[in-house]
Amino acid sequence: MTPRCSWMWRRARCMLLGRSRSAATGRCLGAERTLTSTSHPPKICIVGSGPAGFYTAQHLLKHTQAVVDIYEKLPVPFGLVRFGVAPDHPEVKNVINTFTQTAHSERCCFIGNVTVGRDVTVEELRKAYDAIVLSYGAEDKRELEIPGEELPGVYSARDFVGWYNGLPDNRHLSPDLGSETAVILGQGNVALDIARILLSPLELLKKTDITQSALEAISHSRVKRVWLIGRRGPLQVAFTIKELREMIHLPGTRPINDPSDFYGLGDIVKDLPRPRKRLTELLVKSALEKPKERDCSHLAQSDREWGLRFFRKPVAVLLSEDGKRAAGVRLSVTRLEGVGDTAVAVPTGQVEEIRCGLILSSIGYKSVPISPVVPFRPNKGVIPNSMGRVQGTPGLYCSGWVKRGPTGVITTTMADSFDTAQALLEDIKSGALPLSEPRPGSSAIRELLLLRGIQTVSFSDWEKIDAVEVARGAEVGKPREKISDSEEMMRLICR
């Protein structure tokens, strides 16, 4: 059988047998022919199969007779739900069940292992579809732009999270966990996720879908202390109360925050918005209140610790004595000008240093341009748009992080994606998105990909991978053992 896994054979077999769902496309071929011959439903392409892509598809399929194709560069779907959500947060991943229902719709088709911009261009997609929604997320990391950030021992949060979550691009990261102190530059949810994974008891991690290679590395980790550095103060932290509460109650670990950072905040709390108020109250309580008697013994027995360091901005990574790797970070002491979320950190002229062997930069993700024909604002890392309509480009839309920037949680992305889908539906209804003639959709794109030697992956193919992962996980008491090698994934669906 050819390396393309006999896609054409599968298609021909499906058509001969009159199957309602094609193994090659994952979509109802007969229904598509009937619809297009009678009512010309719009054919819509979504680029990216993360939460933004699937929520956009879900809304479109619910409110129109559209045929929706979801393209994904990896052989597996779900984006940050699979590769970004912490292994010990399985409840957040339950949204995959909803996405799976969407993918099983007769009018929806998942087409994996296709990189838009390389394997097929945006221009080619525009010729094949009535509309395109760009939902490919934030695929890159923000740079620290300080001396020494390229040294061994310095990692981006994006790469580190990808490593323990099985992202193929990061499977060979092999971070050095041989020092007792780790520094995380950033105070958002991702920073707390990383701190929690570094400090969690192995007994807890063994029950999650963390990759086996990461679990093995963490089992030999010497990290006992994690500092989370922020350039501003307690009122500007970017994490949520759920993640903070998890860190405070993490078994075998104690917080070591400086009480002086929280003096006077009690008088300010009452005027804060409710989410910020509850978060700040918990910060103040954990830093200033004496622990109860039953908690004292727990804290005394804890052999790991973590803390928030405020009003500090990294200015350089320190070099080890042998000149081969990172040995610490130099911080500029800051003060705030302004109040609340708009407060700006300015240097005071003072500096201090923290010695450590592991530095993780968690200062945010960023999107990258996908095509010269798609407008892009590199300073903000977003596609300029109005309610998801790409400016100056009729028929082109965007949703998720590439639309609004890398902020918010999955529910934020859901609302944002529904807005984009609704804007597209309104354009169809008003005639702003003309449907003058039927478009070929995926049939034309598949022919191009076949000619270019690109083997596509259907949702049924993904379900083969999924079954293997779940089976491997069951053997060791985990929900799944992720396959992080794309080539192994492709071999599984071809056998």
> Above 80 in pLDDT, residue 137?
yes
As a whole-number percent, the residues of the chain with pLDDT over 70 amount to 90
> Above 50 in pLDDT, residue 336?
yes
> Above 90 in pLDDT, residue 139?
no
Question: What does the pLDDT read at residue 27?
Answer: 43
Question: What does the pLDDT read at residue 267?
Answer: 83
HEC readout, 145-211: CCCCCCCCCEEEHHHHHHHHHCCHHHCCCCCCCCCCEEEEECCCHHHHHHHHHHHCCHHHHCCCCCC
Mean pLDDT, range 32-60, rounded to an integer? 80
More confident call, 45 vs 292: 45
Question: What does the pLDDT read at residue 316?
Answer: 98
For residue 143 the two structure tokens come to 């740079």
Q: pLDDT, tens digit, for every residue of 458-480? A: 999 999 999 999 999 999 999 99
Question: What does the pLDDT read at residue 6?
Answer: 41
For residue 36 the two structure tokens come to 């297009």
Evaluate whether 360 touches 185 at the Cβ level (below 8 Å): yes
Evaluate whether 299 touches 252 at the Cβ level (below 8 Å): no
More confident call, 201 vs 436: 201
> Above 90 in pLDDT, residue 36?
no
* Residue 360, H or E segment: strand 358-361
For residue 237 the two structure tokens come to 């932290």
Question: What does the pLDDT read at residue 8?
Answer: 36
Question: What does the pLDDT read at residue 299?
Answer: 65
| Confidence at 98, pLDDT banded by 50, 70, 90 | very high
Question: What does the pLDDT read at residue 300?
Answer: 66
- Which amino acids are annotated catalytic? 89, 193, 410-411
Count the neighbouring beta carbons within 10 Å of the beta carbon of residue 284: 21
Q: What are phi and psi of 125, to 5 degrees?
A: -65, -40
| Confidence at 26, pLDDT banded by 50, 70, 90 | very low
Q: Which of 56, 45, 36 is nearest to 109 (CA)?
A: 45
Question: What does the pLDDT read at residue 68?
Answer: 98
Q: What share of the chain is helix, strand, coil (3-state, %, to 5)?
A: 40, 20, 40
Q: How far apart are CA 322 and CA 368, in angstroms?
A: 36
| Confidence at 295, pLDDT banded by 50, 70, 90 | low
DSSP class of residue 359 equals: E
> Above 70 in pLDDT, residue 52?
yes
Question: What does the pLDDT read at residue 33?
Answer: 32
| Confidence at 341, pLDDT banded by 50, 70, 90 | confident
| Confidence at 129, pLDDT banded by 50, 70, 90 | very high
Question: What does the pLDDT read at residue 266?
Answer: 81
Query: In 237-323, which ranges are continuous DSSP H helix?
Result: 241-248, 265-269, 274-288, 293-301
| Confidence at 297, pLDDT banded by 50, 70, 90 | low
Range(s) for CATH 3.50.50.60 in the chain?
146-364
Q: Considering Cα of 148, then 153, then 157, then 159, what sign does the dihedral take? A: positive
For residue 450 the two structure tokens come to 């076949």
> Above 90 in pLDDT, residue 28?
no
Query: pTM (2 decimals)?
Result: 0.89
> Which CATH architecture is the domain 7-139+367-494 placed in?
3-Layer(aba) Sandwich (3.40)
Q: What is the DSSP string of 201-262?
A: -HHHHTTS---HHHHHHHHT----EEEEE-SS-GGG--S-HHHHHHHHT-TTEEE---GGGT
> Above 90 in pLDDT, residue 3?
no
Evaluate whether 5 touches 493 at the Cβ level (below 8 Å): yes
Tell me if the domain spanning 146-364 has CATH number 3.50.50.60.
Answer: yes
Range(s) for CATH 3.40.50.720 in the chain?
7-139+367-494
CA dihedral 415, 420, 426, 430 (to 10 degrees): 160
Question: What does the pLDDT read at residue 264?
Answer: 87
> Above 60 in pLDDT, residue 214?
yes
Q: How far apart are CA 88 and CA 206, in angstroms?
A: 10
For residue 490 the two structure tokens come to 């492709």
> Above 90 in pLDDT, residue 185?
yes
| Confidence at 63, pLDDT banded by 50, 70, 90 | confident
DSSP bridge pairs for 331:
314, 352
Mean pLDDT, range 393-409, rounded to an integer? 94
Mean pLDDT, range 245-272, rounded to an integer? 92
- To the nearest whole number, what is the mean pLDDT of the chain? 90
Q: How far apart are CA 312 and CA 185, in angstroms?
A: 9
| Confidence at 296, pLDDT banded by 50, 70, 90 | low
Q: pLDDT, tens digit, for every residue of 263-286? A: 989 888 988 999 999 999 999 999
